[in-house]
């Protein structure tokens, strides 16, 4: 099965990610854009895992519930995922399903990521302190999940009827992470970048649901030196992009680039 997503630069380091007819704003400069700021790419990885997880739980318990998600990144570049923790606020009849399904072996997205990422959870009746990067999600009675981060809302479900699928969200996380790195490096190189686009493709095994291949196409428009574009991409892939660094080594992530 092939999954597709695209990313287009709006201005500076603010991007728009699109899968089918659904779009979200990606941003690394929330303090600059204020209430118009988008979502930073790394939390999208967690949202992709959550969308899949919450749907599995809902199919068994059939009730609405809430979850806050916190995560820990490595302290040095590339700042890959080290730990993901869930705080569930759920009715009693959902707790057995939650306990069963918070298992990395049931999650195709998690099985596409490195095995040493720690997954933990707890039940709570008290809302934890909400930090900027903490994701607040609601699993609705209608079967889809709504995720909030800063001023952003993402709706998703496994079938893509109400929003993006977990796989599409993950592709935007990877593309946004490496794309923002590349744009930032090109700006520092004083390249005359007019527009930046990305096309992200993922191949998924029909039986396991795990990614078997990822491919990113980078398209830079303007007076951009091709060698510098390649260098910006290589630096991102090898040194800075924490999402790519979190993907298992046996899943190839290939790329191509073009200057127009």
Domain carrying residue 242: 2-36+167-259
Q: Does residue 246 sit in the same domain as residue 229?
A: yes
With respect to residue 106, please indicate whether it lies within any of the assigned structural domains. Answer: yes
DSSP code of residue 129: P
DSSP code of residue 179: H
The CATH number given to whatever domain includes residue 223 is 3.30.300.20
Mean pLDDT along residues 202-226: 97
Query: Residue 122: in which H helix or E strand, if any?
Result: strand 118-123
Residues near 179 by Cβ (< 8 Å), separated by ≥ 6?
A: 7, 9, 15, 196, 198, 218
Total domains in the chain come to 2
pTM for this model (two decimals): 0.93
3-class DSSP assignment, residue 217: strand
With respect to residue 161, please indicate whether it lies within any of the assigned structural domains. Answer: no
**Residue pair 239/77 in contact by the 8 Å Cβ criterion:** yes
Query: Using one digit for the tens of pLDDT, what is the confidence trace for 1-29?
Result: 999 999 999 888 889 999 988 888 888 76
Q: Does residue 31 sit in the same domain as residue 55?
A: no
Which pLDDT does position 253 carry in this prediction? 97
- Pairing type for strands 118-123 and 145-149 reads unpaired
């Amino acid at each position: 099965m092939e999954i597709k997503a695209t990313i287009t630069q709006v201005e500076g380091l603010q991007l728009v990610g699109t899968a089918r007819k659904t779009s979200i704003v990606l941003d690394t400069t929330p303090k600059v854009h204020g209430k118009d700021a988008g979502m930073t790419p790394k939390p999208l990885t967690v949202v992709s895992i959550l969308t899949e997880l919450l749907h599995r739980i809902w199919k068994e318990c059939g009730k609405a519930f809430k979850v806050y998600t916190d995560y820990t990144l490595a302290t040095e570049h590339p700042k890959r995922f080290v730990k993901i923790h869930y705080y569930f606020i759920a009715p009693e009849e959902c707790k057995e399903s939650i306990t069963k399904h918070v298992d990395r072996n049931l999650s195709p997205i998690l099985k596409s990521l490195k095995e040493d990422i720690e997954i933990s959870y707890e039940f709570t009746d008290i809302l934890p302190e909400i930090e900027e990067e903490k994701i607040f999600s609601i699993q609705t009675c209608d079967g889809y999940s709504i995720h909030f981060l800063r001023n952003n809302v993402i709706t998703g479900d496994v079938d893509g009827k109400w929003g993006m699928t977990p796989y599409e969200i993950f592709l935007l996380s990877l593309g946004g992470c490496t794309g923002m790195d590349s744009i930032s490096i090109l700006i520092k190189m004083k390249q005359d970048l007019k527009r930046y686009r990305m096309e992200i493709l993922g191949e998924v095994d029909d039986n396991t649901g795990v990614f078997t291949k990822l491919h990113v196409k980078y398209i830079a428009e303007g007076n951009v030196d091709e060698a510098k574009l390649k260098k910006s991409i290589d630096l991102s892939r090898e040194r800075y992009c924490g999402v790519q660094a979190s993907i298992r080594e046996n899943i190839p992530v290939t790329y191509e680039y073009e200057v127009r």
